[in-house]
Every structure is written in structure tokens, then in C-alpha cells.
Structure 1
Amino acid sequence: MTAYDAYLAARLLAASGRTDTDAVTTADMDAAADIAGADRPSSGHDRQAVRLALDTITQPWSL
């Protein structure tokens, strides 16, 4: 899984209202990746990349 695949899956999760990274399951990530046309997360590192991308998309930035 590339960083772009993780971003695509996270973007789809966010669009479907799944913004709580603690509540997103492996099945959610697999389905989002399939729909987005991205590789499925195949390891814990890949799933963490999706969670980090989801946090980046959904959390407000503060400087």
C-alpha cells in the first residue's frame, strides 16, 4: 500500500462519516480501499497509515 492508497481510503472513510480512527475497523478500511480502487491495507503499518491519513483529513490544524 502506498501513501496515496492510504489517502484514498481515508478520504472515502471521511466522506462516509467514519472519522473516529479508533472505531474504524479493518473491514471498513478494506471496503474503502476497494471502492477507491486502491490496494487494501495488508499489515498493521498499512492500517496505521490509513488512520494517520484519516486524522490528517479530519482534524483541524492549529499553529
Structure 2
Amino acid sequence: MTGYDAYQTAQTLAANGRTDSDAVTHADMDTAADVAGAPRPAGADDRHTVRLALDAIGEGQ
């Protein structure tokens, strides 16, 4: 998963009201990645990158 893929996934999560990175589940991330057209997070590192992107989006709002 690239940083851009993680950002697209995080944008989809945020657009659907899932802005708390600590509360987002693996299933939430998988669904958001599918909707965004990005690869699903493959492991802990990818999920961490999505959480970081989601936190950055939340700080910008």
C-alpha cells in the first residue's frame, strides 16, 4: 500500500464519519479501501499508515 492509497482510504473513512483513528476497525479499512479503489491494508504497517493519514485529515478539519 502506498501513502497515496492510505490517504485515499482515510479520505473515504472520513467522508463516512469515521474520523477516530483509534476506533476504526480492520473491516472499516478494508471496506473504505474497496470503495476508494485502493488495495486493502496488508498488515499492521499499512493499517498504521491509514491511521496516520486519518489523523492528518482530522487535524485539517
TM tier, shorter chain? over 0.9
TM-score by length of structure 2 reads 0.95
In structure 2, what is the Cα distance between the partners aligned to 1:55 and 1:18?
11
How much does 1:59 deviate? 1.4
Structure 1: gaps (5+ residues): none
Q: Which residue of 1 aligns with 2:23?
A: 23
In structure 2, what is the Cα distance between the partners aligned to 1:3 and 1:52?
10
Aligned length: 61
Provide runs of 4+ in structure 1 moved above 3 Å: none
- For the pair shown, which has the larger CA radius of gyration, 1 or 2? 1
Identity within the alignment, %: 64
In structure 2, what is the Cα distance between the partners aligned to 1:57 and 1:19?
8
Across the aligned residues of Structure 1 and Structure 2, the Cα RMSD in angstroms comes to: 1.2
Which letter does structure 2 place at the counterpart of 1:22? Answer: D
In structure 1, what is the Cα distance between the partners aligned to 2:43 and 2:59?
24
